[in-house]
Structure 1
Amino acid sequence: MKKKLVKHVTASFKEQFNAAPEYIFLSPGRINIIGEHVDYNDGFVLPAAINKYVCFAVSKNSDGKVNLFAKDLNESYSFDMDNNLKPADQMWANFFLGVAHEIKQRGLASKGVNIAFSSTIPMGAGLSSSAAVECGFAYALNSIYNLGLSKEDIALIGQKSEHTFVGVNCGIMDQFASVFGKKSKVIKLDCNTLEYEYHKADFKEYMLVLLDSKVKHTHLTSGYNDRRNEVEKGIAILKQHYPGVKTFRDLNEDKVHTVKDQLGDVIYRRCLFVVREIQRVLDAVAALEKQDFAGLGQLMYATHNGLSKNYEVSCEEIDFLVDAVRADETVLGARMMGGGFGGCSINLVKKDAADALIARVAKEYKEKFNIKLEAYKVKVAKGTSLYTS
């Protein structure tokens, strides 16, 4: 599949620019095993890069322009690195413009490039195709023009460009996972300090299957902002009661229970989810270290229950997909993945049962919602890199 993508993008580059590309770069999408909605709540996350990619065919040019061709959209866009860069009407171009702007802000001189790109990361499925584009472009410029950026710099440039040129106030997890990913490893990332450690993610006779609901409800942005406001109010009240508390990490369930009346029902449930989820990430790391995949699966189900009932960011379709596998003995765990209100469920499934499971759930989902389910079998892969055949 990777070779097919590279071949496809190389041919597209030749067609557009009448020459073979000098370089091929691959930048992966990502999953998050556990640790949802805690990146902005002082928690830990457990992401990994996956074997779905944005592929860039790249050559230097001498005119100082960045000439882009988006194969999947059949659209082109060009800009001059020396110009004052501003967001464009073509939304996809802003991922590149934002990165170029951030590189210029750092006082780095990057010359022109010709780029054709295409992706196997499903759009709108919550697998961070945007972070893959940003980090892939920054990585390519850094590599071919020796800009001296570290991997952390590249992740931060991607995040900042999304804030400023795309208008999404995202955390650092997506970009970090895309750049720092390693084959068969998950990353335990501290979203505050960017300290990280790798843990083995060889699931033996099990595999990860994503079930894409193909829905994205409009509450995502408003719901996300509401949750941020609710937990900010919650932590402020908790700090008044517990002067030593600085972040949600300093709390436990008992402390949240004690202040339930002052928090009120909604904020209490939001805070309870956050405290439990921070602990679940630590428990998940311990389960992976022991290769206790059944234990990991139970944590995934617990996360989904919390996201659905306490944090209230799931939706009917995703709840259906998780409930559809709960009683299946070939599935160890499942949960909603990502911001919520649609997107994918992530499932830990016995390898030899995956096809039958996908067929069953797809049939039930079609009958219930009249939506064609998409399924993606994914492997934990290495991060953004130069492709060598």
Structure 2
Amino acid sequence: MKKKLVQHTTEHFKKVFQKSPDYLFLSPGRINIIGEHVDYNDGFVMPAAINKYVCFAVSKNNDAAFTLIAQDLNESYQFKVTDDLKPVNQMWVNYILGVLHQLKAKGLNQGCSIVFSSTIPMGAGLSSSAALECGIAYAMNKIFDLGLTKQDIALIGQQSEHTFVGVNCGIMDQFASVFGKKNSVIKLDCNSLEYNYYKADFKKYSLLLLDSNVKHTHLTSGYNDRRQEVEKGLDILKHFHPEIKTFRDCNEKMVTDLKDQLSDTIFKRCLFVVKEIQRVQDAAMALNISDFKKLGALMTETHHGLSKDYEVSCAEIDFLVDAVQQEKSVLGARMMGGGFGGCSINLVEKGTEKALIERISTAYRSQFGIELKAYKVKISKGTTEYKN
């Protein structure tokens, strides 16, 4: 799959520019094992890079001219790096311009010809945008020796999204894309950016993503509402417990004791956050001892919290998670990502995936009239130069 993508991208570069590219880079998408909606609540997340990539074929130009070719969209864009870079109507271009705008301040003054193509499914919540941003930043750093660290590259990707795309995202997606390590998940502190790797060799189990093929429109408004609700809840908790600075300083009892002071909605939101922060710690311990049954149970607990307490799931995703609960081959499942659609992530016994996909697809089609997509993924290394 990786070699096929590289070949596909290289051939297109040769066709357009009548020469071979000087460099090839791969930048992966990501999953999040556990730690959902806690990146903006002072929590920890547990992402990993996966074997779905954006491939970049790149050659240096002798002047300041850039040519960008999005092979999958059959679109291109040309400009000079010396131009005053501003957002444009082609949204995919903005992810790249936002990165280059920052790199100009780091000394970038020369152009490139770039063709890119991807195997990361669009709109499935696997962070194709972070892979695009970080891949461009990594490539420019390597080619022009800009002296950036991996952390610099992740932060540049995030800043591009904030300024040129208008999405106020956290750091998890870019961090996972850059810092990914084969057969390891990253436990990331989203505040300090301290991180640890945990071995995730799932042995006789594999990760299966079931894509609901729906994206309900209230994703942004629902996300903003949740942020306001938990901020209000934290203020109330701080009022009664002055020692509390963040949700990390809270425990379940503190929240439960103040149920009458918190509205029913805010109580549920805060309870989810405190429990999810603890679940990430428990998941790290489970991975340390290869207790995959415990990890699966924690994933399923997370889903119930996201669905019932944080209320960011939807009928289609709840159906996919509920449908696998009776399957002996499935250790755990949950909604992954911002919510209101997207994918469920499932920890399943190797060799049972095909039959499971057929059963769930049939049931899902019968219930909703929607075709299910399924992706088997492996945990891979982060953004890197590809050498033949």
- Provide the TM-score with structure 1 as the length reference: 0.99
Say whether the 8 Å CA contact 1:67–1:77 is kept in structure 2.
yes
Say whether the 8 Å CA contact 2:134–2:154 is kept in structure 1.
yes
Partner of 1:247: 246
Partner of 1:286: 285
Q: 2 CA distance for matches of 1:107 and 1:293?
A: 44
Q: What letter is aligned with 1:171?
A: G
Deviation of the 1:63 alpha carbon:
2.0
Q: 1 CA distance for matches of 2:321 and 2:309?
A: 16
Matches within 5 A, 1:204-223: 204-223=203-222
Q: 2 CA distance for matches of 1:4 and 1:260?
A: 55
Q: 1 CA distance for matches of 2:177 and 2:106?
A: 24
Partner of 2:225: 226
Say whether the 8 Å CA contact 2:154–2:171 is kept in structure 1.
yes
Q: What letter is aligned with 2:336?
A: M
RMSD of Structure 2 on Structure 1 (CA): 0.6
Partner of 2:68: 68
Change (3 A) 1:107 1:352: closer
Partner of 2:101: 101
Say whether the 8 Å CA contact 2:98–2:164 is kept in structure 1.
yes
Deviation of the 1:258 alpha carbon:
1.1
Partner of 2:85: 85
Q: Which digits, 9 at most, give the CA deviation of each residue in 1:230-270, with x for residues without a partner?
A: 00101011111100000000000000011111111000000
Q: 2 CA distance for matches of 1:31 and 1:95?
A: 20
Q: 1 CA distance for matches of 2:290 and 2:106?
A: 46
- Provide the TM-score with structure 2 as the length reference: 0.99
Q: Secondary structure at the match of 2:76?
A: strand
Deviation of the 1:271 alpha carbon:
0.3
Aligned residues: 388
Partner of 2:137: 138
Deviation of the 1:108 alpha carbon:
2.1
Identity between Structure 1 and Structure 2 (%): 69
Q: 1 CA distance for matches of 2:278 and 2:268?
A: 16
Partner of 1:53: 53
Partner of 1:309: 308
Say whether the 8 Å CA contact 1:110–1:141 is kept in structure 2.
no
Residue 37 (1) aligns with residue 55 (2): no
Q: Which digits, 9 at most, give the CA deviation of each residue in 1:60-119, with x for residues without a partner?
A: 001212210000000000121111110010010001100011112x34224100000000
Say whether the 8 Å CA contact 1:95–1:134 is kept in structure 2.
yes
Partner of 2:350: 351
Q: 2 CA distance for matches of 1:123 and 1:139?
A: 21
Q: Which digits, 9 at most, give the CA deviation of each residue in 1:196-228, with x for residues without a partner?
A: 010000001000000000000001000000000
Q: 1 CA distance for matches of 2:351 and 2:86?
A: 50
Q: 2 CA distance for matches of 1:97 and 1:79?
A: 10
Residue 384 (1) aligns with residue 346 (2): no
Q: Secondary structure at the match of 1:261?
A: coil
Say whether the 8 Å CA contact 1:50–1:381 is kept in structure 2.
yes
Q: Secondary structure at the match of 1:92?
A: helix
Deviation of the 1:48 alpha carbon:
0.1
Say whether the 8 Å CA contact 2:106–2:146 is kept in structure 1.
no
Q: Secondary structure at the match of 1:263?
A: coil
Q: Secondary structure at the match of 1:177?
A: helix
Q: Secondary structure at the match of 2:90?
A: coil
Partner of 1:128: 127
Q: What letter is aligned with 2:5?
A: L
Q: 1 CA distance for matches of 2:106 and 2:144?
A: 14
Partner of 2:256: 257
Q: Which digits, 9 at most, give the CA deviation of each residue in 1:257-292, with x for residues without a partner?
A: 111111110000000000000000000000011110
Q: 1 CA distance for matches of 2:27 and 2:38?
A: 25
Q: 2 CA distance for matches of 1:166 and 1:213?
A: 25
Deviation of the 1:129 alpha carbon:
0.1
